[in-house]
Amino acid sequence: MNAMKLSMNQATCLEKSSLEKDLELCEKYGYDMIEPRTMDGIPNYLKNHTIDELAAWFKSHKVKPLAFNTLCFFNNRTPEDYQKVLQELRQMCEWGKKIGCKTIITVPTVDLKKVTRQEIHKSAVKCLKEMGEIAAEYGMRISVEFIGHPAASINTFGEAWSVIEDVDMDNVGITLDCFHFHGMGSKLEDLAKADGKKIFIVHLNDTEDFPIGSLLDEDRVWPGDGCIDLDAIFQTLKKIGWQEDVVSLELFRPEYYKMDPEDVYRIGKEKSEAVIKRNF
């Protein structure tokens, strides 16, 4: 495995930053990559810039794009809503082709009203096959991020992995967010049975020790400051042949939003590197 790189997810400085500032801070504090947000980061950037300017920035700087975050709620949608998802997917693929971003993270639908697990699985497989084909036209990958909360339709690693197995496409894999892995009690045994080559993105974070099933994004804390056995997750990833050489810091903690982004980037680097150095 090559030396582990560190990426910053734009969500970590949501309130006091912008894509321009995040890029500058990534460079200043020695992050290798960034996950641009497609809900706000890129649209806000495009109010004053073009996608070609962003492409030029990435070409002339060391920092590179890791993945677009996020294509929301793809499964068990109405036909009209699903068509909007596919439109968004194509837009991200166009952007990705321009700026050299090869991966799109997508999350499962939340707050479905009483839908069976079989229906969720069937819809997810069908949608991801179609989404994977569209992404392949652009040389892109789709990475499914299960959400560790009872309201999410796919909320454990095991469920997500069974979907990925049935989709069975080289460019459709999983985003493993450590917080979400812990959030609904995903099992290391399930991770140990998976194919590491299909884990495209890893989000690094930690959490306060609330009961399984009650955790919210705001409970995330710096890596190493919480209760998640991060070392066990990373050692398992290594055993199953995980091949990506980057982890991405993703936190949604309101008190971190209030901090100076400079401090968030500086502390985030220190805390992340401590976990990385122990494991790689």
Residue 260 in tokens:
């100076």
DSSP result, 204-261? E-EE--PPTT---GGGEE-TTSSS--HHHHHHHHHHTT----EEEE----HHHHTS-H
> What is the rounded average pLDDT of the residues 57-71?
98
Q: Which residues pair with 7 in a beta bridge?
A: 33, 248
Q: For residue 49, what pLDDT is reported?
A: 97
Mean pLDDT throughout 167-184? Answer: 98
Q: Are strands 5-9 and 33-35 parallel, antiparallel or unpaired?
A: parallel
Residue 1: which pLDDT band, with cuts at 50, 70 and 90?
low
Compute the average pLDDT of residues 249-277. 97
| Euclidean distance between CA atoms 242 and 229, whole angstroms | 18
Of 123, 62, 137, 58, the C-alpha closest to 92 is 137
Which whole number is the average pLDDT over 45-50? 97
Share of the chain above pLDDT 90, in %: 98
Q: What is the mean pLDDT of residues 234-250?
A: 97
Other beta carbons within 10 Å of 259 = 15
pLDDT, tens digit, for every residue of 196-216?
999 999 999 999 999 999 999
51-62: average pLDDT: 98
Give the predicted TM-score (pTM) of the model.
Answer: 0.97
